[in-house]
Amino acid sequence: GQPVDAVTLGPELESKGRLDAVGWDYLGQVALRVPTPDNAVEYARRVRADGLRRRLAAVLHECEQMARSPEHDPEDVISTTQAGLAELGKAQASAGRSIGDAVSNRWARIEAIAHARADGSLAMSGHPTGVTGLDDLTGGWQPGIVSIVCARPGMGKSSLAMATAFACSKAGHGVHVFSLEDSEESYADRLLSRLSRIPSSQLRSARLDNSEVGRVISAVSTLRAEKRWQIDETAGISAEMAVRRMRACKRRTETRVAILDYATLLSRQRGESPHEAASRAMVTLAASAKHDRIAWVVLAQLNRDVEKRPDKRPVLSDLRESGSFEEMSKMVVALYRGAYYGGNPRPGIDYAEGQYAPSHEEWQRQVQLLVLKNSNGPTDTVIARWDGPTTTIW
């Protein structure tokens, strides 16, 4: 059932010990007399198979070396092996496509979004952020790219990440959260607080009346049903390890969005500066976003220089000291809460010139989401709501 020519017949004769009796010279003469360009597909198949064998051997050799080394955790070795094999399988399954097919598929997706909007359904090109105004402006967190959420401490970065996790899970998308700062217990407190509307400080003290207990039990029941929402509290992991752990769960949870809270807590290699570590992490996460077709949302802490300015709203240049964050990210969203700094709201900063100043209560419950960079659309400021006791943003 295979083509018969010098390329295929030679190894066959050799495997049966008959090649010397026939000789390569004779096979060459036959090939010259009977050219077979139709067999080019078979030649390509053999080259492809040999190449796959070499790459497979390389992956397995690397994993074997890691497995024999006491420096590597067995769980990481398993994740690396799974990711390596999955990447090989995906690479072999995809042979690329014509630009015409790519454009046609993209247009079909745009049409589907347009029809869904016309029918009143929630539809966007990316995955929901948890804030309607931000979804309307950006189309959500876009797959295939790294988006940055940056701010000073206390502005609501983790709250926006949690809002994203809730919205994605509700939409049926898998989400993987790497909570490098908060423990699993702290993260659970904030989740329960958001759903029950009971301050997390009150939950931690366990001082609840009967009605509040009922609300917490209802929140627990809701969260128990979440099977596609992963939380990983392992401290000191690297960007490479985060990618491996996400890939290990991706098939089971159908992960569409991965959230890293936050970037400066990633481990560094020996002798590596924070700037170099951040740059290496961004390269790793950008490659994963493109290869795995997911949206990486990376939280970043800004330094105190922001607070030295009269206008304390972050600007894009504040990221320049954070490695490749500004350069490699395709979308940057900064958070600012003027009420955090006290005083009164200022025109042109906390509200638009020529408009009425917000009341004290409105200002306390206001957070600005500044879209500083958006490769897929416009940049602007979105005004969102903030609830301090439950650290909720929407």
- pTM of the predicted protein model: 0.71
What is the model's pLDDT at position 207? 82
DSSP H or E stretch at residue 31: helix 24-33
Tens-digit pLDDT string for the chain (394 aa): 677 777 788 888 889 999 889 888 888 887 777 655 666 767 777 888 888 888 888 888 888 888 888 888 887 788 778 877 877 766 554 445 565 666 677 667 667 766 766 666 555 678 999 999 999 999 999 999 999 999 999 899 999 999 999 999 888 899 999 988 878 888 888 888 888 999 888 888 888 888 888 998 998 888 888 888 988 888 778 888 899 889 988 888 899 999 998 887 888 777 777 778 888 888 889 989 998 999 999 998 888 888 889 999 999 888 865 556 777 788 999 999 999 998 899 999 998 888 888 898 998 999 999 999 998 789 999 999 999 888 899 9
CB atoms within 10 A of CB 343: 9
Q: How far apart are CA 232 and CA 228, in angstroms?
A: 13
Question: Which class for 131: exposed (0-12), middle (13-18), buried (19 or more C-beta within 10 A)?
Answer: buried
Q: How far apart are CA 23 and CA 179, in angstroms?
A: 66
Q: If you write DSSP's letter for every residue of 135-146 in order, what string do you get?
A: HHHH-SBPTTSE
SS3 172: coil
Q: How far apart are CA 324 and CA 231, in angstroms?
A: 26
What is the model's pLDDT at position 314? 93
What is the model's pLDDT at position 322? 59
What is the model's pLDDT at position 82? 80
Residue 358 per-residue DSSP state: P
Residue 127 per-residue DSSP state: B
Residue 34, sorted as left (phi over 0), alpha (psi -120 to 50) or beta, turns out to be beta
Give the tokens for residue 222. Answer: 């809701």
